[in-house]
Structure 1
Amino acid sequence: MSRPDASLDAIVSAHGAAIARIVAAFEANAARRDELGQEILLAIWQSLARFRGESSLKTFVLRIAHNRAVDHALQASRDLAREEVPEDLPDPLHGPEHSAGLQQRGERLAAIVRRLPLAQRQLVTLALEGLSHEEIGSLLGISVGNVAVRLNRARKYITQQMGETA
């Protein structure tokens, strides 16, 4: 497998939006989202020398992003002194050009995804980034059948919470 352009600029250009979505799925607080995003980019930059092209660059980047996001979520759950921020605070990054209904739906979906158990949250965010069941299974070390079953359960929960019919 040939090694694609693995510069940090190229990675951010190609996968920055996916990294941002992963960060949003694991952190509600805007300031902590920024910190987590920076931690992920630093980890990617530090790991670039070890990228041998054995997987796609996208899989490599998402593996690092998910590992950092999971570490972040586990640390946050251990940190009892962390102040909870209400999820209904407006996000200053969304300007008036966005539809209010679409924004509310997106925020509601992100909040529901954040409530998923960590293992399901990983599966959902990887699936939303377009990874196949095989890629997700390989990345997380579980069978393709297990990926399908867990994703189906997560989808049913999300659909129920969103108030839609399955």
Structure 2
Amino acid sequence: MDEAANAVASERDGTAAQAHGGAAVPDLDSVLREHGPMLDRIAGSYQSEPGRREDLLQEISLALWRALPGWRGEASLRTFIARVAHNRAIDYLARHRRVEDSLDETHPDPGDDPLRHAEAQQRRRNLLDAVRQLPLGQRQVVVLALEGFSLRETGAALGLEENTVAQRLSRARRQLRDSLGASA
């Protein structure tokens, strides 16, 4: 059986294939379950309108489905997934040439204090609006930093040197402080 037929058979019976480097290739469903919130936030950093964000998430999912068999374990799976997601989002933006105004629409738990909930939502909206206004290179490193990626992981995900990541992150933080200070 050829490689394509093996991939189809593997997909059909739910078994994980082996990448060339020996690392087990996870199935798309498990990747989306485990990394879905991160993918949603990445998509939200590029596209605010819910319908367009959903379209982008579908494109990211398709890109992951195509890319996962090529993962060789040279970088962490999380880093690989973030890189695929960012690359697909950049392609999406290039095709649509339009950046939307609002990001992720998940809401913090209001708990017992609706006023605190409203204030938290406003702070989140302000931050996300400010992040969206950053130049693309800075926005990418900020989104991954907010996801908890180290400088090294961010560099691996974006194909950048650690020093470049650190510079972009420093500039982005300074710009965010200026922007949020002006709107506060």
Shorter-chain TM band: 0.7 to 0.9
Tell me which stretches of 4 or more aligned residues in structure 1 moved more than 3 Å.
93-98
Which secondary structure state, in structure 1, belongs to the residue aligned with residue 148 of structure 2? Answer: coil
Worse-superposed segment, 36-45 or 124-133: 124-133
Q: Name stretches of at least 5 consecutive residues in structure 1 with no aligned partner.
A: none
Distance 1:38 1:97, change over 3 A: farther
Q: Name stretches of at least 5 consecutive residues in structure 2 with no aligned partner.
A: 1-20, 112-116
Tell me: higher relative CO, structure 1 or 2? Use CA pairs within 8 A at least 6 residues apart. Answer: 1
Q: Distance in 1 between matches of 2:131 and 2:91?
A: 17
Residue of structure 1 equivalent to 2:81: 61
Residue of structure 2 equivalent to 1:14: 34
Residue of structure 2 equivalent to 1:127: 145
Deviations 1:54-76 (A, max 9, x none): 21110111011000111122223
Q: How many angstroms does 1:43 deviate by? A: 0.9
Contact 1:24 1:110 in 2 (8 A): no
Task: State the number of aligned residues.
Answer: 155
TM-score, normalization: structure 1? 0.81
Deviations 1:106-129 (A, max 9, x none): 122111111111111111112222
Residue of structure 1 equivalent to 2:15: none
Contact 1:27 1:114 in 2 (8 A): no
Residue of structure 2 equivalent to 1:51: 71
1:68-147 map, 5 Å:
68-77=88-97, 87=101, 94=107, 97=110, 99-147=117-165
Q: Which has the larger radius of gyration?
A: 2
Worse-superposed segment, 49-58 or 17-26: 49-58
**Aligned residue identity for 2:60:** I
Q: How many angstroms does 1:3 deviate by? A: 2.5
Do structure 1's residue 42 and structure 2's residue 52 form an aligned pair?
no
